[in-house]
Amino acid sequence: MDEVQMINPEDYFQTGEGGTALTYNHKDGKTLAKLFMPGFAADTAAREFRINRVVYDSGLPTPKPIRLITDGTRFGAEYELIPNKRSFTRIISEEPEQLVPLSERFAHLARQIHKTPADTSRLPDMKELVLYWIERSEHLPEAYKQRFRRFLEAVPSVPTCLHGDLHIGNIITDGKRDLWIDVGDFAYGVPEWDLSMMYYATNFMSPERADNIFHLDIPTLRAHWTAFAKAYWETESEEELKAHVRKLYPFIATKITFLVTKLGDGKAPLSEGMFRLIDNYLP
């Protein structure tokens, strides 16, 4: 296991905030530190760091992982800093005319991931990961768990890469390179696991969350999905696009249930809205 190295917080300044972690740039301008909020175990940071290393080793474009770190209270990792980087979402929010070209570029980058063979000895099977957390849910009735089991039995374990948290906020560019970030949920399996997350993020967000996470409004996110979908599936046919989306429905219900359960360590109750999503989308 990699040694966790102590850092001096005074050598860094905060540059970002997410739901589970804060990011800091080193004063030397060469590295970025991601530290999980207090209460997250060192194993959480170590697992994400190991996955980042697998992705980097695979040749997919992502900032180089450097070392595991702690400030004495929080745990995280340090990565290569990409100077002058902007996320695709930030560019679209500042330059709306870039919506279609960047959405199409993002689609081609997603297809590249989904065509990349996965190192199945070092990456988790998304299907097994989902099943593990659904089985651990303390608030999901057995009848619902059985429905998820039946669905998952029919899903193949395809040995190709998945981002795990596919949305346009997780790609950055410095003008020369496009790089994937937040790759700690990388796994392998059928592309529908990623595409269902992408559809959910662009079609189910509240206006507040859309602005907070993506700096975009709902109409822009939906226009982004449309441009992305046409480029990803290489079709202009509305009927074909609708057919592709219908295939995502059970994956959406399963992936979101998995994420809620995982985030709550199996103990978080599921809302009425979650059960409606399951009832509407899962066979």
Q: How many CA atoms lie within 13 A of 2 on its CB side?
A: 23
- 205 and 252 share one domain: yes
- 141 and 216 share one domain: yes
- 45 and 109 share one domain: no
- 208 and 74 share one domain: no
- 31 and 93 share one domain: no
- 92 and 68 share one domain: no
For residue range 155-184, what is the model confidence (pLDDT) as tens digits?
Answer: 999 999 999 999 999 999 999 999 999 898
- 31 and 70 share one domain: yes
CA–CA gap between residue 157 and residue 234 (Å, rounded): 24
Degrees to nearest 5, angle at CA 252 with 201 and 244: 90
User: DSSP letter string over 151-181?
Assistant: HHHTS----BEE-SS-SGGGEEE-SS-EEE-
- Residue 52 belongs to a domain with what CATH number? 3.30.200.20
- Residue 210 belongs to a domain with what CATH number? 3.90.1200.10
pLDDT of residue 255: 96
Please compute the mean of the pLDDT values over residues 213-238 and round it to a whole number: 95
State whether residue 283 is helix, strand or coil. Answer: coil
Nearest to 245 by CA among 263, 225, 270: 225
pLDDT of residue 264: 87
CA–CA gap between residue 278 and residue 113 (Å, rounded): 28
Say how many domains are in the chain.
Answer: 2
- 132 and 257 share one domain: yes
Q: Answer whether residue 225 shows pLDDT above 90.
A: yes
At 212, the pLDDT band (50, 70, 90 cuts) reads confident
For residue range 39-92, what is the model confidence (pLDDT) as tens digits?
Answer: 888 888 999 999 999 999 988 999 999 999 999 999 999 999 998 999 999 999
pLDDT of residue 1: 55
Domain that holds residue 32: 4-80
* Structure tokens that stand for 89 in this block: 């979402």
Distance set, CA 268 to CA 40, 143, 174 (Å) = 16, 18, 39
